[in-house]
Structure 1
Amino acid sequence: MIVLNYHELVEASPSNAWCLTHEMFEAHLALCEEGLVSPQSFLKHCSDPKPSRTGAVLLTFDDGFLSDYTHIYARYMTTGRIPGFMSFIPVGFVGSPGRMSWEMIEELGRGGVAIGSHGMAHVDLTTVSDVKLERELRLSKSMLEDRLGQPVTLFAFPYGRFSRRVWEAALRAGYTHLFTIQLGYHRGFESFLYSRLCLTNSMDAEYMRHHLLDPDAMRGFSWRISTKLGLYRQLMRWRYR
């Protein structure tokens, strides 16, 4: 299973590296469209030791940008072009300029989009106190659940940064599936961690084509050797201790 991560989509002139044009997203989509799966299908099968479908691709979007609603949901999901996506919301940003309103997020939830938390203030959780960590995790979860009327069990680490302290706090808070954007293969050492490829506007269709053909190619020599020697889990648990 390949999990792709996007942020804001715009018509032209991206404002930062993580902001992609509609045209580039369309080019990416043309390459992976036949393999797209819904979040519900992903969550149902992600724990299978032998996934029944190779080449499957899940779309995720971070930061609650308006384009989740105005472009991805309205243009692609309601028309049946894509089977769904995950949207991770930094709750403190809801209603800010360029971000979705609560009404939009609620509509996404009713429409089959899987809503997850991205914390309250989009801070690096590895740097905050235990008290602030608990607030970021629990308050964002409860606010989303109150608005959506359903459990929220998905969490994406802001900036992709995490540690054992952070993931243990997230599991205690009631999250069951935790997502990062660090290129790796985290399910190789903890079953609740999921790596995503974070797309930037330097990653054109050719880059996407190569990644879809061989996702492991980008992971480098150390990943290949540690995996071959059966040391990956030990090394990763030491790194994120």
Structure 2
Amino acid sequence: MIVLNYHELVDADPSNAWGLIHDVFDAHLALYEDRLISPQTFLQRCSDPEADAPDAVLLTFDDGFLSDYTHVYARYMETGRVPGFMSFIPVGFVGMPGRMTWTMIEELHKEGVAIGSHGMAHVDLTAVSDRELDRELALSKLMLEDRLGAPVLLFAFPYGRFSRRVWDAALKAGYTHLFTIQLGSHRGFEPFLYSRLCLTNEMDMNYLRWHLQDPNAARSFAWKVSTKLGLYRRMMRVRYR
């Protein structure tokens, strides 16, 4: 399975590299629309390796932008073009200009969008104290669960940055699926880590086509050799100690 990561969708002239105009997103959608799966299907297949479908594509959106509700949900999900998606919320940003309100987030949850945490203040978790790390993980989870009335088991690392200390704290807080923005197929070097390709307005369409054809194509020769020899997991555990 291939997991794609987006941020804000805008009408024109994105204010930063993370925003995409609607026409570009529509062009992306045309490439993989018939391969899309819902978050529920993705999670079911994650728990059953034999059910994995290499060509399947899951959409995820970070930062709780208003466009998750007004465009991804209203324009694409309600019309049936997108079967569902994951929305990762930085809880401290809820209700701010350009961000979703709690009412919107609650509606998405009721309609089958998988809501995950993106921390409280969207900070680099590898650079904060243990106390702040616990607050970012536990408080955001507690607040989301209180509003949704359901367990929140998904977490996306802000900026994609993590370490063993961070993922250990996330697992201890009760998350079961942790998402980053590494390249490659969905399953990371640990069974609870999931890789995503982050799409920006600076990315060439051919690159997306290449990734959809083979998500591991951009991996280095060293990765391919170490994976074949069964050494990749050990190497990564040393790197992210």
Alpha-carbon distance in 2 for matches of 1:212, 1:229? 25
**TM-fit CA distance, 1:48:** 2.5
Alpha-carbon distance in 2 for matches of 1:30, 1:222? 33
Q: Taking structure 1 as the reference length, what is the TM-score of the superposition?
A: 0.97
1:40 is aligned to: 40
1:111 is aligned to: 111
**TM-fit CA distance, 1:14:** 1.0
Alpha-carbon distance in 2 for matches of 1:139, 1:150? 15
Alpha-carbon distance in 1 for matches of 2:188, 2:204? 28
CA contact (8 A) 2:189 2:236 kept: yes
Give the aligned residue type for 2:5: N
Alpha-carbon distance in 2 for matches of 1:237, 1:134? 21
What runs of 5+ residues in structure 2 fail to find an aligned partner?
none
Alpha-carbon distance in 1 for matches of 2:112, 2:49? 26
**TM-fit CA distance, 1:203:** 1.9
1:2 is aligned to: 2
**TM-fit CA distance, 1:46:** 1.1
Alpha-carbon distance in 2 for matches of 1:240, 1:108? 34
CA contact (8 A) 2:2 2:186 kept: no
**TM-fit CA distance, 1:134:** 0.5
CA contact (8 A) 1:124 1:161 kept: yes
What runs of 5+ residues in structure 1 fail to find an aligned partner?
none
State the Cα deviation string for residues 157-213 of structure 1 (Å, max 9, x = none): 000011111111111111000000122558352100000000011223322111101
- Higher deviation after alignment, 214-223 or 15-24: 214-223
Alpha-carbon distance in 1 for matches of 2:18, 2:221? 26
SS in 1 for 2:37: coil
**TM-fit CA distance, 1:54:** 2.6
CA contact (8 A) 2:178 2:194 kept: yes
Alpha carbons of 1:76 and 1:188: their partners in 2 closer, same or farther (altered >3 Å)? closer
Alpha-carbon distance in 1 for matches of 2:188, 2:159? 21
Give the aligned residue type for 1:160: G
- Higher deviation after alignment, 167-176 or 186-195: 186-195
Alpha-carbon distance in 2 for matches of 1:113, 1:185? 22
CA contact (8 A) 2:39 2:86 kept: yes
1:141 aligns with 2:144: no
1:191 is aligned to: 191
- CA RMSD in angstroms, aligned pairs only: 1.2
CA contact (8 A) 1:24 1:204 kept: no
**TM-fit CA distance, 1:86:** 0.1
1:126 is aligned to: 126
Alignment of 1:1-241 (within 5 A): 1-184=1-184, 187-241=187-241
Q: Taking structure 2 as the reference length, what is the TM-score of the superposition?
A: 0.97
Give the number of equivalent residue pairs: 241
Percent of aligned positions that are identical: 77
State the Cα deviation string for residues 17-71 of structure 1 (Å, max 9, x = none): 1111101111111001111000000011113233442300000000000000000
Alpha carbons of 1:52 and 1:160: their partners in 2 closer, same or farther (altered >3 Å)? closer
Alpha carbons of 1:186 and 1:6: their partners in 2 closer, same or farther (altered >3 Å)? closer
Alpha carbons of 1:24 and 1:204: their partners in 2 closer, same or farther (altered >3 Å)? farther
CA contact (8 A) 1:88 1:155 kept: yes
CA contact (8 A) 2:183 2:216 kept: no
